[in-house]
Amino acid sequence: MNLNQVTISATDLQKSIAFYSILGLKLIVDALPRYARFECPDGEATFSIHLNKNMQQNNFTTVYFEDDNLDDLVLRLKQKGITFMTELEDKSWLWREAHLQDPDKNTIILYKAGTNRKNPPWRIN
Protein backbone atom coordinates (compact mmCIF):
# COMPACT_ATOMS: atom_id res chain seq x y z
CA MET A 1 0.00 0.00 0.00
CA ASN A 2 1.22 3.51 -0.78
CA LEU A 3 -0.23 6.92 0.05
CA ASN A 4 -1.74 8.53 -3.03
CA GLN A 5 -2.92 11.86 -1.70
CA VAL A 6 -4.16 13.88 1.24
CA THR A 7 -7.27 15.99 0.75
CA ILE A 8 -8.17 18.88 3.04
CA SER A 9 -11.15 21.22 3.19
CA ALA A 10 -10.98 24.92 2.42
CA THR A 11 -13.50 27.76 2.52
CA ASP A 12 -11.81 29.73 -0.32
CA LEU A 13 -10.06 27.64 -2.96
CA GLN A 14 -8.48 30.66 -4.68
CA LYS A 15 -6.67 31.66 -1.47
CA SER A 16 -5.64 28.07 -0.80
CA ILE A 17 -4.34 27.56 -4.35
CA ALA A 18 -2.25 30.72 -4.04
CA PHE A 19 -0.89 29.63 -0.63
CA TYR A 20 0.07 26.09 -1.66
CA SER A 21 1.57 27.36 -4.92
CA ILE A 22 3.84 29.67 -2.91
CA LEU A 23 4.88 26.62 -0.85
CA GLY A 24 6.07 25.04 -4.11
CA LEU A 25 3.30 22.59 -4.99
CA LYS A 26 2.37 22.35 -8.70
CA LEU A 27 -1.32 22.75 -9.57
CA ILE A 28 -2.36 19.83 -11.83
CA VAL A 29 -6.19 19.89 -11.56
CA ASP A 30 -8.20 23.11 -11.51
CA ALA A 31 -11.85 22.20 -11.02
CA LEU A 32 -12.89 25.48 -9.43
CA PRO A 33 -14.90 26.36 -7.52
CA ARG A 34 -15.07 22.94 -5.82
CA TYR A 35 -11.68 21.15 -6.16
CA ALA A 36 -7.97 21.55 -6.85
CA ARG A 37 -5.12 19.05 -6.88
CA PHE A 38 -1.35 19.52 -6.68
CA GLU A 39 1.75 17.45 -7.31
CA CYS A 40 4.45 17.58 -4.70
CA PRO A 41 7.75 18.72 -6.23
CA ASP A 42 9.52 15.58 -4.96
CA GLY A 43 8.17 12.03 -4.88
CA GLU A 44 4.86 10.72 -6.14
CA ALA A 45 2.35 12.05 -3.59
CA THR A 46 -0.37 14.53 -4.48
CA PHE A 47 -2.30 17.00 -2.34
CA SER A 48 -5.92 18.04 -2.87
CA ILE A 49 -8.25 20.73 -1.61
CA HIS A 50 -12.03 20.60 -1.76
CA LEU A 51 -14.51 23.36 -1.05
CA ASN A 52 -16.32 23.21 2.28
CA LYS A 53 -18.06 26.45 3.14
CA ASN A 54 -19.43 24.96 6.40
CA MET A 55 -16.12 24.30 8.11
CA GLN A 56 -15.85 24.61 11.87
CA GLN A 57 -13.47 27.18 13.32
CA ASN A 58 -11.48 24.52 15.18
CA ASN A 59 -9.73 22.56 12.47
CA PHE A 60 -7.42 19.75 13.54
CA THR A 61 -5.78 18.88 10.22
CA THR A 62 -1.97 18.79 10.22
CA VAL A 63 0.00 18.27 7.02
CA TYR A 64 3.73 17.53 6.94
CA PHE A 65 5.90 18.42 3.94
CA GLU A 66 9.53 17.31 3.99
CA ASP A 67 12.26 19.26 2.21
CA ASP A 68 15.97 18.44 2.05
CA ASN A 69 16.81 22.17 1.91
CA LEU A 70 14.49 23.17 4.74
CA ASP A 71 16.39 26.23 5.95
CA ASP A 72 16.52 27.68 2.44
CA LEU A 73 12.84 26.90 1.85
CA VAL A 74 11.74 28.64 5.06
CA LEU A 75 13.87 31.70 4.21
CA ARG A 76 12.40 31.88 0.67
CA LEU A 77 8.83 31.56 2.00
CA LYS A 78 9.40 34.31 4.56
CA GLN A 79 10.71 36.53 1.76
CA LYS A 80 7.44 35.83 -0.11
CA GLY A 81 5.41 36.98 2.90
CA ILE A 82 4.54 33.65 4.53
CA THR A 83 4.18 34.00 8.30
CA PHE A 84 5.39 31.15 10.50
CA MET A 85 3.90 30.14 13.87
CA THR A 86 7.29 28.80 14.99
CA GLU A 87 10.84 29.32 13.87
CA LEU A 88 13.01 26.46 12.67
CA GLU A 89 13.81 24.16 15.57
CA ASP A 90 15.70 20.89 16.03
CA LYS A 91 13.30 18.53 17.81
CA SER A 92 14.13 15.77 20.30
CA TRP A 93 12.73 13.21 17.81
CA LEU A 94 15.58 14.17 15.41
CA TRP A 95 13.52 16.25 12.99
CA ARG A 96 14.05 19.92 12.11
CA GLU A 97 10.70 21.74 11.84
CA ALA A 98 8.96 25.05 11.25
CA HIS A 99 5.16 25.44 11.70
CA LEU A 100 2.71 27.65 9.82
CA GLN A 101 -0.98 27.73 8.92
CA ASP A 102 -2.81 27.86 5.62
CA PRO A 103 -5.66 30.33 4.98
CA ASP A 104 -8.16 27.99 6.73
CA LYS A 105 -5.92 27.52 9.81
CA ASN A 106 -4.82 23.99 8.88
CA THR A 107 -1.43 23.41 10.50
CA ILE A 108 1.42 22.90 8.04
CA ILE A 109 4.72 21.53 9.30
CA LEU A 110 7.71 21.90 7.04
CA TYR A 111 10.41 19.55 8.19
CA LYS A 112 13.58 17.63 7.43
CA ALA A 113 14.01 14.19 8.96
CA GLY A 114 16.09 12.29 6.42
CA THR A 115 16.51 8.66 7.43
CA ASN A 116 14.97 9.43 10.83
CA ARG A 117 11.54 9.82 9.21
CA LYS A 118 11.06 6.06 8.93
CA ASN A 119 14.16 4.74 10.67
CA PRO A 120 14.78 6.59 13.94
CA PRO A 121 17.20 5.01 16.41
CA TRP A 122 14.20 3.78 18.48
CA ARG A 123 12.41 2.07 15.55
CA ILE A 124 10.82 -1.27 16.41
CA ASN A 125 12.32 -4.12 14.37
Domain spans of the chain?
Answer: 5-52+61-117
Q: 101 exposed, middle or buried (CB, 10 Å; 0-12, 13-18, 19+)?
A: middle
pLDDT digits (tens, 9 = 90+) for 35-46: 999 999 988 889
**Closest alpha carbon to 105 in 54, 42, 61, 50:** 61
Per-residue model confidence (pLDDT) at position 103: 93
CATH for the stretch 5-52+61-117: 3.10.180.10
pTM attached to this predicted model: 0.85
